[in-house]
Amino acid sequence: MAGRRWLLLWMLASAACGGVSPAPAERSGAPPVEPVARDAPTVILVSIDTLRPDRLGCYGNRQPTSPNIDGFAGESVLFAEAIAQAPSTLPSHATMLTSLLPEHHGAFFSRRTPLPASIPTLASELRAAGYRTAAFTGGGQIAPEFGLDRGFDTYGVNVGGSDFESAVRAGLGWLEENPGHPAFLFLHTYEVHHPFTPEPALLDIFDDGYDGPLPVEISKELLHRINTDETAITDRDLAHIVAAYDAEIRSVDSAFGRLLAGLGELALLEDSLLIFTSDHGEEFGEHGVVGWHSHTLFDELLRVPLLIRFPGGRDGGRSIDQQVRLLDLAPTVLATVGVVAPSTFEGVDLVRVIGGLTTPLPAVSQLDLPVGEIELSLRTGRWKLYPRRALAGDPFAEGPPPLAVRLRNLLVRWRRPFALFDLQADPGEDRDVVEGRPQVASSLSRTLATLAGARQCPEPVPTVVVDLATEERLRALGYVD
């Protein structure tokens, strides 16, 4: 009976969408949005793709990766446990902008499905309220073809270059064009994403004296050879790879400092709402893979930095330990500027959490997998319910395992479809305690099924056919062969 109960719960969670809420309406058919005042706060959302929080000084790193970000943290609210809803770029950013779980907004790179035009976004709601809107991004998985450009008057891709400094320069120039009008600016960069190509002078800050076999630049081809055991590395070599990643962060930090200085020169910083975050993290050997992501739902890929500077520096310097989600960003922005959030938004205003909201905010996260494959995790402040099928995520595996192994795994998953990790006792997520905590796992399974089935999935949309420039960018980032 226990096995059947687990199987039923797994089927409920795997269904992922239910029929409780209607599909979102077109903006043209939604209730009108009240216009904001002309002096409404400027809103700036900064997403540094693939940035782990534990590599920043304000999150405990002793390396000098982030002096400008650390200074900004002193004026901001720091969320110590911010969780992404996907370990990959497109579904995670779509969640940021729609406040919907990935299966509920339907934007997946592996499926080549864009964000449906019927779903309200942060940009579309702000524009309807009178904001002018612009984004300067690295393209790739968030190229315009994937639908995240909706609601933006301007949507630039690699304007002036692919580094964060280019995006900052373009964004500041755009803000200067019409300073008397409310503005929403979204800045994104892949500079911290593999391949790691740091300036040698920056690398020397973090890895001076390395004389091993690895080059200064850590290419995706080298990472592929490392992860397929064609190239063996030592702990010292791994430290060199992490140092290259840290040096890329230092470059981004310099550009972020220029953003802060530029906002000050435009007299915008003090009264702006400025959010600094990432879409997901990166793995450096915690579960067997180096310099890669998207393949598991472990915390090294789901925990992200989240710093919010509210207008006037309100609550600056505070650190919030309660778990929050990227799902909560869009509702927080709209509440701060005085715009009523659409009914489709699933997140909460984080000001309520800062004020002492004690209601748990469970974080559902999902792998970016092809149509028909749905793997969901559920994270609370203490527990992580983890789909057993995704425990051995290996993006470099060649073909399926032998039949006997597959049959054994199928039997194990039938009996126990989820693993359970106690994050307080085992923050590295190394010890499955589901056998000793069946009631906890059962309760979390029911919660996961409820959250996953709380809204209809969007209607199927035509798959994306990318242009040559986007294809080349995706290849450079390792998303296509």
pLDDT > 90 in the chain, percent? 75
**Beta-strand runs (E) in 28-83:** 43-48, 77-79, 82-83
| pLDDT at residue 183 is higher than 90 | yes
Q: How confident is the model at residue 399 (pLDDT cuts 50, 70, 90)?
A: low
pTM, to two decimals: 0.92
List of residues 6+ apart from 96 with CB closer than 8 A: 45, 47, 122, 277, 279, 326, 329, 330
Residue 241, helix vs strand vs coil: helix
Q: How confident is the model at residue 392 (pLDDT cuts 50, 70, 90)?
A: low
Q: Which residue has the tokens 């500027």?
A: 337
Neighbour tally for 453: CB within 10 Å: 18
Q: How confident is the model at residue 448 (pLDDT cuts 50, 70, 90)?
A: very high
CB 210 within 8 A of CB 236: yes
Q: What is the mean pLDDT of the chain?
A: 90
The domain limits of the chain are: 33-363+461-476
What is the C-alpha to C-alpha distance for residues 196 and 251, in angstroms, rounded to an integer? 12
Sheet holding 383-387, edge to edge: 363-366, 376-379, 383-387, 418-422
Q: Please report the pLDDT score of residue 139 as a whole number.
A: 95
Residue 203, helix vs strand vs coil: helix
Report the alpha-carbon angle 49-262-172, nearest 5.
65
What is the C-alpha to C-alpha distance for residues 256 and 110, in angstroms, rounded to an integer? 31
CB 444 within 8 A of CB 433: no
Q: Tell me the mean pLDDT in the region 103-111.
A: 95
Question: 33-363+461-476 — its CATH code?
Answer: 3.40.720.10
CB 70 within 8 A of CB 276: no
**CA-CA-CA-CA torsion for 176, 151, 137, 323, nearest 10 degrees?**
110
Alpha helix positions (H), 100-234:
102-105, 122-128, 164-177, 200-207, 220-227
Bridge partners of 64?
Answer: none
Q: Please report the pLDDT score of residue 176 as a whole number.
A: 95
Q: Tell me the mean pLDDT in the region 343-367.
A: 94
Q: Give per-residue pLDDT as tens, 254-275.
A: 999 999 999 999 999 999 999 9
Q: Are strands 376-379 and 383-387 parallel, antiparallel or unpaired?
A: antiparallel
